[in-house]
Amino acid sequence: MPGTCVVGLQWGDEAKGKIVDLLGDGFDIVVRYNGGANAGHTVVVNGKSFKLSLLPTGVIRSNVQSVIGNGVVVYPPRFIEEIESLVKQGGLDVSGSLFVSDHAHVIFPYHMEEERLLESGAEGKIGTTGRGIGPCYQDKVGRRFAIRVGELLQPDHLRERLRFVVPFKNKLMSALAGGTAPKVFDPEAVATEYLTYAERLRPFVRDTTRFLHDAIAANKRIIFEAAQGSLLDVDHGTFPYVTSSSSLPSGIWGGSGVPAKHLKRIIGVVKAYTSRVGQGPFPTELNDGLGEQIRTVGREYGTVTGRPRRVGWLDSVAVRYTAALAGADEITLMLLDVLSGIPELKICTAYELDGSRITHFPSDAHLLARCKPVYETLPGWTEDLTAVRSISDLPSAARRYIDRVAELIGLKVSVVSVGPGREQTIMV
């Protein structure tokens, strides 16, 4: 089984969804193995834009089966909202083609309130999406207060679990509220609400690990879709300003049940510049008019939150680091068209840390915050790239930029994207 993984090599928002969608016809199954509704994938098909945060990108293609693996955390209202939106926007019925792991963990309202309280303080902010992702993963690791999707389908069991969990959560909210009136949750009300959701989820819930193992035995082609970016990986990212799951391909085994030996191709997705949402160090960030220009042209606003993204020059030091961690075989260069009209382009090729020049990436946030970028300057181009479909038709400066990125990262560029549409793609 030739398994493939599409993984972002920056801080997320690299346009992974477009690559998964483009490759969709070559696969039978698309699997999300980490994250939750904090991911944001926008896919444009025939001018119609589909915004997904929890569902795998494969749902857009009727001939592909989509799986939300056990490593994902699921907020049922968002799940229902997205499947209803697919019907409303494009007449897409995913019944029978979308499956949710019975072992995926469930996000409850108290998770979101816990996150809100944690992020409302003056210090210690991570810059989360406020979707309850982190507290849900905390409960998963802590075990005692976690509830999985399969448990939603057992009413008596669910009520019993919530009678145990909710009183503890109420005490926690009271402590976090710091003297202000905390939000109090009623276990019976939460159970009633979620049992209603459970009936909507029931047709989609199954043992997805067994489903995927059967697919492997049948030699089905599987593509794994990472959420967030590699620099946000909980183990190898810019800790503590990271997500709560493994966003590298190393998360596939635990997040889906598919052993690593079945993975044969890893595609690293790289934006032609860099963006970041939330807190944390960002050496190449542009806090000027040029940064605002890139943000505006690139539509750099969060798919999930709508927050303006921080933007900056491409950081080849960071991407070399994540490409090595991911075991990437190739890279795709996305949003190249956004750089049109900028006279000079810069790429970070090294850092200066406490007076010393370094070419390795220090993933500890307190070290990265002290790094100053060392730039290489390349000429820009003025031409509009959005209608270009061949590498040979690109301006020479754009081709030089692509070649230099490939050289600095040490991997071939297999795809160049010059717009959001499927057709706005150059296969190199």
Residue tagged active-site, from 103, 111, 140, 236: 140
pLDDT value for 126: 72
Active site residue 393: no
Please indicate if the annotation marks 412 as binding a ligand: no
CATH number for the 271-427 domain, one of 3.20.20.80, 3.90.170.10, 3.30.930.10, 3.40.50.720? 3.90.170.10
For range 105-132, the mean pLDDT? 83
Q: If you search the block for the tokens 């990436």, which residue do you land on?
A: 361
CA 58 to CA 222: how far, in whole Å?
11
For range 374-379, the mean pLDDT? 98
Give 28-81 pLDDT, tens digit per residue.
Answer: 999 999 999 877 777 776 667 778 889 998 888 888 999 999 999 999 999 999
Domain 3-101+205-267 has CATH 3.40.930.10: no
Listed by start position, the domains of the chain span 3-101+205-267, 105-201, 271-427
Q: Is 304 exposed, middle or buried (0-12, 13-18, 19+ CB in 10 A)?
A: buried
Please indicate if the annotation marks 304 as binding a ligand: yes
| Percent above pLDDT 70 for the chain | 96
Residue tagged active-site, from 13, 21, 102, 139: 13
CA 320 to CA 404: how far, in whole Å?
13
What are the CA-CA distances from residue 228 to residues 8, 80, 144, 210 (Å)?
A: 7, 22, 27, 26
Please indicate if the annotation marks 38 as binding a ligand: yes
Please indicate if the annotation marks 70 as binding a ligand: no
Please indicate if the annotation marks 389 as binding a ligand: no
Residue whose C-alpha is closest to residue 9's, from 418, 305, 328, 394:
328
Active site residue 103: no
Please indicate if the annotation marks 337 as binding a ligand: yes
Residues 6+ apart with CB under 8 A from 408: 316, 319, 320, 347, 349
Please indicate if the annotation marks 404 as binding a ligand: no
Active site residue 41: yes
Task: Compute the mean pLDDT over every residue in the chain, rounded to the nearest whole number.
Answer: 93
- Would you place residue 1 in the very low, low, confident or very high pLDDT band (cuts 50, 70, 90)? low
Whether the per-residue pLDDT at 129 is higher than 80: the answer is: no
Residues 6+ apart with CB under 8 A from 414: 267, 330, 331, 332, 427, 428
Residue tagged active-site, from 41, 103, 111, 271: 41
CA 247 to CA 235: how far, in whole Å?
9
pLDDT value for 393: 96
Please indicate if the annotation marks 265 as binding a ligand: no
To the nearest 10 degrees (0 to 180), the angle between helices 76-90 and 187-201 is 40
CA 103 to CA 148: how far, in whole Å?
5
Please indicate if the annotation marks 323 as binding a ligand: no
CATH number for the 105-201 domain, one of 1.10.1370.30, 1.10.300.10, 1.10.4000.10, 1.10.10.10? 1.10.300.10
Q: Which two tokens stand for residue 86?
A: 């697919």
